[in-house]
């Protein structure tokens, strides 16, 4: 499915981590709202390390007090998200290339955490999508095929 077609983000089995162009975010927000999914958006412009990434994600996710500011806390948070309303969750990370360029290891760790969180959500039949805007990536989502 491409950005031109109707996006259906309600299918938990389609959840995961996707690289997109920032121009696709409006269509993703519209699809998320249509599916009654909670949208969290974090701008990573100038984000150059783990500490700044965790701070920005905690703010975007409106995490409860006591967030541990470490990778384990982020994973726990992304697996839970019960304080955010909606039938599922869409995380939009704008300007992800800034982190990828400045701190490749932190970027890779973030991707691993997002993939693990999406897998956990899938096992709970809950849609979870993470979209990272990278300048060289047009949006391509899997087509939903009826079982």
Identify whether 109 is part of a domain.
yes
Dihedral sign (CA 102, 119, 1, 130):
negative
Q: For residue 126, what is the enclosing H or E element?
A: none
Identify whether 106 is part of a domain.
yes
Q: What is the pLDDT of residue 143?
A: 47
Give the N- to C-terminal CA distance of the chain in Å, as an integer: 17
- List the domain range (segments joined by +) for residue 91: 70-137
Buried b (16+ CB within 10 A) or exposed e, 53-83: bbebbbebbebeeebeeeeeebbebbbebee
Q: What is the pLDDT of residue 137?
A: 56
Identify whether 22 is part of a domain.
no
Q: Quick: pLDDT tens for 87-127.
A: 899 999 999 999 999 999 999 999 999 999 999 999 999 99
* Confidence category of residue 64, pLDDT binned at 50, 70, 90: confident
What is the average pLDDT across 5-19?
88
**pLDDT for 139 beyond 80:** no
- For the chain, how many structural domains are there in total? 1
Higher pLDDT residue, 140 or 67?
A: 67
Q: What is the pLDDT of residue 146?
A: 44
């Amino acid at each position: 499915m491409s950005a031109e077609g109707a996006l259906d983000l309600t299918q938990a089995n389609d959840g995961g981590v996707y690289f997109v162009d920032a121009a696709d975010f409006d269509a993703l927000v519209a699809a998320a709202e249509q599916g009654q999914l909670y949208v969290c958006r974090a701008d990573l412009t100038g984000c150059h390390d783990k500490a700044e990434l965790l701070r920005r994600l905690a703010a975007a996710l409106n995490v409860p007090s006591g967030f541990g500011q470490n990778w384990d806390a982020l994973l726990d948070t992304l697996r839970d998200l019960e304080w955010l309303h909606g039938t599922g969750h869409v995380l939009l990370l704008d300007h992800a290339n800034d982190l990828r360029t400045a701190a490749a290891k932190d970027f890779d760790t973030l991707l691993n955490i997002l993939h693990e969180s999406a897998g956990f959500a899938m096992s709970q039949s809950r849609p979870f999508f993470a979209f990272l805007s990278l300048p060289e990536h047009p949006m391509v989502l899997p087509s939903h095929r009826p079982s």
